[in-house]
Amino acid sequence: MNLIALGVNHKTAPVEVREKLAFTGTDIGETIALMKAKAPEILEEVILSTCNRVEIYARVTDVRLGVEALKKFLCEYHEIDRETLDKSTYLYLLEDAIEHLFKVSSSLDSMVVGEPQILGQVKDAYRAARELSATGSILNNLFERSFNVAKKVRTETAIAENAVSVSYAAVELAKKIFDDLSDKVVMLVGAGEMIEIAAKHLVAQGVDNIMVTNRTYERAVEFARKLNGEAIGFDSFYEELNRCDIVITSTGAPRFIIRKELAAKVIQERHHRAMFFIDIAVPRDIEPSVNEIENCYLYDIDDLQNVVAANMVERDKEAKKAEKIVQSEVSQFLLWLDHLEVAPSIVALKDKAENIRKSELEKTLGKLNGLSNKDREAVDRLTSSIVNKVLHPPIVNVKKVAETKDGHTYLKAFRRLFDLGDGD
């Protein structure tokens, strides 16, 4: 079975190369149609294109010809030189291709291991290819199996449970303090990338009461609009702090913008209800002694990074468990492929042996004059019986080994020993 995975990702190619090779949603249909027309070596295909990877999974008639056809097409379609492509791409064949897809779907190959977005992206890629009739029984089964593997990894491991980004870690810490965040009021001081990411995580947790302040008021208004929140003037945000349960800051100010005296006044106005401060600015926005105030919880960037580091260790442990699941599932899929291939291999061997027998029989009978029809039939039965008895042991054995974990290796050797070709 000639299955291949050809691609680039964040490990093998810089963003400028990935950008050149990327496909948009509208490109996919055109690309698959062109490949069908230009590359008959490609029998089935799925194109996965995300910000971190561009991969083509394919079943081909011949590995060498199929890989060459894909590379040639990518160079022509994206107008990229072959040397750059060859330096950036990786190629996986059969078992390695299956394993790679299972790892991608399970987010074991992601920049952030355990992130959930990739599975949806793989599903979208497969759905698009299937709607364009670009897949058949092999890739259909392979991708459906990959979704089951991803589900199994998430069900049987805690790979996605530990926050491994500073912004997400901040939100997870807030959940530990408040349990339910949906009724909490949040103040975002600044509008940088890390605050934006934290805001997305907060919204995902059901937070819908968000205030935004920034030195540039227009920026605060723009950001607040995205979040369906309220923009607050930077000079007056102090007056609103007593309404806030969670305050996240990232301003780049040269000195503290929230000091202990202010925080103490605010917590008193709140009748000592808990307040959570997240300072992800460098230099810091919030005076460290705020953490000394009862019911004030302050975490700065170093605290959050320590949480992330600890969580990375835990996630690595879970990734090892996930790897074992993937390996087991790869073996199961190879076993399914072997069952598909063993019957055609046996038929091919019998046909080849029968053709040889008939050819040699005709040559021999042509030299033997005076044989009656009865004698000819006897010789025919004799040679047929000999061939069947010679073939019986290898056929029985190949059926048995096809059901073992090394079945594919034996089946490949079986086809090679009897010169039956590699199949497709």
Residues with active-site annotation? 51
Asked whether 1 and 423 are in contact (CB, 8 A), the reply is yes
Asked whether 249 and 280 are in contact (CB, 8 A), the reply is yes
CA 55 – CA 50 distance, rounded (Å): 9
Query: Which residue is listed with tokens 């040397």?
Result: 83
Question: Which pairs from 261-270 meet CB under 8 Å and 24+ separation?
Answer: 262/238, 263/287, 263/290, 263/293, 263/296, 264/293, 266/241, 266/242, 267/293, 267/294, 267/295, 267/296, 269/242, 270/242
Backbone angles phi, psi at 159, to 5 degrees: -60, -25
CA 158 – CA 160 distance, rounded (Å): 6
Query: Which residue is listed with tokens 């320590």?
Result: 306
Query: Which three-class secondary structure state does DSSP give residue 125?
Result: helix
Query: Which residue is listed with tokens 């496909």?
Result: 23
Question: Residue 327 corresponds to which amino acid?
Answer: Q
Query: Which three-class secondary structure state does DSSP give residue 211?
Result: strand
What angle, 0 to 180 degrees and rounded to 10, lies between the N-to-C axes of helices 117-131 and 137-156? 160
